[in-house]
Amino acid sequence: MKKLILILLLLMPVVVTAQNFDKFFLDKTVRMNYIIAGNCQKTEIYLSKFLCNENWTGTKNHLIQKNEYGPFKLQISDKKSGEIIYTYTYSSLFFEWQMTEEALNVSKAFREAVKFPMPKNQAVIDFFKRDSLMRFQKVFSTDFDPSSKFIEKGNYQRFTVKNIIENGNPKEKYDLIFVPEGFTQNELTDFEKLAKEYAEKLFDYEPFKSQKDMFNIRIISAASEESGADIPNKNIWKNTIADFGYSVFDVDRYVMTENYWAVCDAASSAPWDGIIVLVNSDIYGGGGIYNYYGAFAAKNPMSIEIFVHEFGHLFAGLADEYESDGAFIEESNENYNYEPYEPNITTLKNFQSKWKDMVNAPIPTPKTQKYENAVGAFEGGNYQPKGFYRPSMHCIMRRLEDKMFCPVCKRAITDAVKYWSE
Ligand SMILES: [Zn+2]
């Protein structure tokens, strides 16, 4: 019996519960701005600065994240005791760039940021990045002194904020903020109209529909100097608030910005857990990165589907379920020796950790009419035709026209709702 208890104790993770939030943290948010630099093989992080805002709107009950869906992990430890008091996983544009062909030949630097609750006492901040076998390896470490006079008390409340979906205290909800990009002062009413329309339409989709009361959505009146976004294919360059452009990684429809600091600065007029940027363009495009930000062209006939798809990436860490992208290097090896971290794709190396409990079809699942509505493992996904499997034949993470999430993506979204709202 004693042995069993010992084994159970050893298996138990360090869990920091709600009561511990007040023990370890103040009700404030720290944003760490940093530069991340390197190439396909190297990742280096350089601290820029810490900024502090009043109020922590993130989770107080899941300080140690259960679902680690991203390639990066921020970990905060109490310096004195060494106890891990906060973890947060996420992905980033730099990480995606590392998988492009360009990263084989050149080193680059991107501006990134991450938020965490203000530690009460001296702390240690560590950053980890997954290796090729998906194990976290440390890439950066620094001490953090909450009493340092160099923590900038950021006053970013510079834009008017409007609530468009309001369901309660930001501390108990997922707070999504819509940032206008490339809308001039005269076009802000246009932005507001579009934002209200998309905010409502998100909740036509399950499982958002039945959990609408867990979300707040706000907009800010942040005008750009010029209208539109950069379109390198047409030699169009605009002076806008967050410097978004098409053809990121030379994929025409990929609309993102490398300047995440500008995105965070704009969003910081309101409490936010997630940022969606509405780009003032009718050219098809968008992008979404887990716990980072999402964006979509706000005036395209497919805008709502693009938004919902990109929000799936941002909010729930969902992978693309389609096979080819054009941006990332296709693997020649189809026998993967690792399980990917995203909840809706598998290499079948550790299917148990994914949706095996939901399966009602043979594995791998034939792509025939018989299994059209089944949950299985259909080969092709995550930009690879072979070796990666997706849960379903129909899902908006594979094809926008499907206009629904598959059951596995729905479960991942519901898990994310719990994380942010419990
Ligand atoms: Zn799916």
CATH 2.60.40.3250 maps onto the chain at 13-153
| Region 266-295 average pLDDT | 96
Residue 154 has pLDDT above 80, yes or no: no
Separation of 318 CA from ligand 1 center, angstroms? 8
Residue 1 has pLDDT above 50, yes or no: no
What are the φ/ψ torsions at residue 215 (nearest 5 degrees)? -120, 140
| Region 62-70 average pLDDT | 93
Separation of 121 CA from ligand 1 center, angstroms? 42
For residue 123, list its beta bridge partners.
78, 144
Separation of 344 CA from ligand 1 center, angstroms? 6
Out of 3.40.390.10, 3.30.1490.110, 3.30.465.10, 2.30.40.10, the CATH code matching 161-317 is 3.40.390.10
Separation of 406 CA from ligand 1 center, angstroms? 4
> So what's the pLDDT on residue 407?
98
| Region 220-238 average pLDDT | 96
CATH 3.40.390.10 maps onto the chain at 161-317
Separation of 309 CA from ligand 1 center, angstroms? 10
- Dump the DSSP string for 238-304: ---SS--BS-GGG-TTB-B-SBHHHHHHHHTTS--SEEEEEES--SS-EEE-TTS-EEEETTSTTHH
Separation of 82 CA from ligand 1 center, angstroms? 39
Q: Beta-carbon neighbour count of residue 5 at 10 Å? A: 9
> So what's the pLDDT on residue 151?
95
Give whole-number Cα distances, 391 to 314, 315, 339, 400, in Å.
Answer: 19, 19, 15, 16
pLDDT band at 11 (very low <50, low <70, confident <90, very high): very low
Separation of 320 CA from ligand 1 center, angstroms? 8
pLDDT band at 14 (very low <50, low <70, confident <90, very high): low
Separation of 401 CA from ligand 1 center, angstroms? 13
> So what's the pLDDT on residue 153?
87
What Rg do the C-alpha atoms of the chain give, in angstroms? 21
| Region 327-332 average pLDDT | 64
> So what's the pLDDT on residue 19?
64
| Region 245-273 average pLDDT | 94
| Region 137-163 average pLDDT | 91
Q: What's domain 13-153's superfamily in CATH?
A: Peptidase M64, N-terminal domain (2.60.40.3250)
Separation of 145 CA from ligand 1 center, angstroms? 42
> So what's the pLDDT on residue 7?
47
Separation of 416 CA from ligand 1 center, angstroms? 15
Q: What average pLDDT does the chain have?
A: 93
Separation of 396 CA from ligand 1 center, angstroms? 7
| Region 272-294 average pLDDT | 97
> So what's the pLDDT on residue 335?
75
- CA–CA separation, 192 and 303 (whole Å): 15
| Region 61-80 average pLDDT | 95
| Region 22-51 average pLDDT | 97
pLDDT band at 115 (very low <50, low <70, confident <90, very high): very high
The tens digit of pLDDT for each residue in 369-412 reads: 999 999 999 999 999 999 999 999 999 999 999 999 999 999 99
Pairing of strands 378-381, 384-390: antiparallel
Separation of 366 CA from ligand 1 center, angstroms? 17
- For residue 153, the Cα-to-chain-centroid distance in whole angstroms is 26
Separation of 327 CA from ligand 1 center, angstroms? 21
Chain position carrying tokens 């948010």: 29
